[in-house]
Amino acid sequence: MTAIVVEDLRKSYGDVHAVKGVTFSVEDGECVAMLGPNGAGKTTTLEILEGYLQRDAGTVKVLGSDPWKGDRRWHEQVGIVLQGTAIDPYLTVSESLARTADFYPNPRQVGEVLELVGLSEKADAKVKQLSGGQKRRLDVAFGIIGRPHLLFLDEPTTGFDPSARRGAWELVDNLRSLGTTIMLTTHYMDEAQALADRIVIVGAGQVVAEGTPDDLGGRDTAALHVRFRLPETVDPAALPVVVTRDKHGAYELKTTDDLRVLHELTGWALRHGVVLEGLVASRPSLEDTYLSLVGGATAETAATPEPSGATR
């Protein structure tokens, strides 16, 4: 079964076209990350999938239903972790979770969820006593207490310190191994790379690229970038390959004939006893690919920021 189907989705706020024909799908059990600059339409798209916003045009099916018409049964299968929403400050952590668990037919145990998000020692603390990161973990706890089949995570680790982010990633991996389908948005390349089976990049309200973290934007077949230094005594013209010199004095070349070029270069160096200092061979990082994909789109959306108030 396909958990999420989105075809030619469109949504405008007055003159601002936040989503302009987005198409993608999420298979059952998959983890898909949506990446994009601020104002690209990520949150708008997510909130349409969550049933908060009505689309202007296009087809949306989430767990087989139109989310805008999502009934009680539909909501029982969907977990939502929003951005920037408060929690009753005077209840304790376990009370507020138990209150939410009441809404679901087959909820997880409060203790089990606190364990999963790492808040066990805060079970009896009032919500108002939690730090920002702890509140965010409680947000995630609300999202999973109902044992959802599908979980939406809107920028789950924004504002986390590095170790808290690793913890959150482990949690997402745990949920996946329990069979939860996950759709998340994020600003962080490493997060998408660590968590997602597939990445959908949006810019200016449209899907700019889609693929696995390894092949996104054709980066697995992109030219190999080789860079190294030569001792001053060595004449670059003697090399078996054509190189250019960059502004730091290192030599570099780009090739799609990876094996032959590396073989000739390193073979030559071994035969002549030349040290290729700082030798690096790399393909574009996910970040390079992302920036080249959304570069044009970002400039365009800068003038039409997403009306965030309307979507939260």
Partner 1 sequence: MNDAVLVGHQIRYEQKSYWRNPASAFFTFAFPLVFFFILTSLAGGQTDKQDLGAGVKLSQYYTPSILGYAIMSACLLAVAMTLVRQREDGILKRYRGTPAPAWSLVGGLIGSALIVAALLSTVVLVFAELVYGVSIPASHLPPLIVTILLSALVFCALGIAISSVIPNMDSGPAIINLPFFILVFISGTYFPVTGNLAKIASYFPLRPFITAMYHSFDPYATGSLWAWHDLRSLAIWGVIGVVVAVRRFRWLPSTP
Binding site for partner 1 (CB under 8 A): 13, 50-52, 72-73, 75-76, 78, 80, 82, 84-88, 90-91, 95-96, 99-100, 102-105, 126, 142, 146, 307, 309-310, 312
To partner 1, the closest distance from the beta carbon of 89 in angstroms equals 8
**Beta strand segments in the chain, E:** 2-13, 16-27, 31-35, 57-62, 78-81, 150-154, 181-186, 198-203, 206-211, 224-229, 244-245, 251-255, 277-282
By C-beta, is 34 or 82 nearer to partner 1? Answer: 82
By C-beta, is 88 or 287 nearer to partner 1? Answer: 88
To partner 1, the closest distance from the beta carbon of 102 in angstroms equals 5
By C-beta, is 183 or 201 nearer to partner 1? Answer: 183
Specify whether the CB–CB gap between 180 and 23 falls below 8 A.
no
**Distance of alpha carbon 14 from alpha carbon 247, whole angstroms:** 49
By C-beta, is 77 or 289 nearer to partner 1? Answer: 77
To partner 1, the closest distance from the beta carbon of 208 in angstroms equals 27
Mark residue 78 as left, alpha or beta (left: phi above 0; alpha: psi -120 to 50; beta: remaining). beta
- Angle between helix 110-117 and helix 93-101 axes, rounded to 10 deg: 120
Q: Cβ of 196: how many Cβ atoms within 10 Å?
A: 23
To partner 1, the closest distance from the beta carbon of 34 in angstroms equals 18
Torsion of CA 257, 259, 261, 264, to 10 degrees: -150
To partner 1, the closest distance from the beta carbon of 40 in angstroms equals 19
Specify whether the CB–CB gap between 311 and 44 falls below 8 A.
yes
By C-beta, is 51 or 133 nearer to partner 1? Answer: 51
To partner 1, the closest distance from the beta carbon of 54 in angstroms equals 12
**Distance of alpha carbon 143 from alpha carbon 134, whole angstroms:** 14
By C-beta, is 10 or 75 nearer to partner 1? Answer: 75
**Distance of alpha carbon 90 from alpha carbon 80, whole angstroms:** 22
Specify whether the CB–CB gap between 171 and 116 falls below 8 A.
yes
By C-beta, is 58 or 307 nearer to partner 1? Answer: 307
To partner 1, the closest distance from the beta carbon of 80 in angstroms equals 4
CB burial of 22-52 (b: ≥16 within 10 Å; e: otherwise) equals: bebbbeeebbbbbbbbebbbbbbbbbbbbbb
To partner 1, the closest distance from the beta carbon of 190 in angstroms equals 28
By C-beta, is 22 or 49 nearer to partner 1? Answer: 49
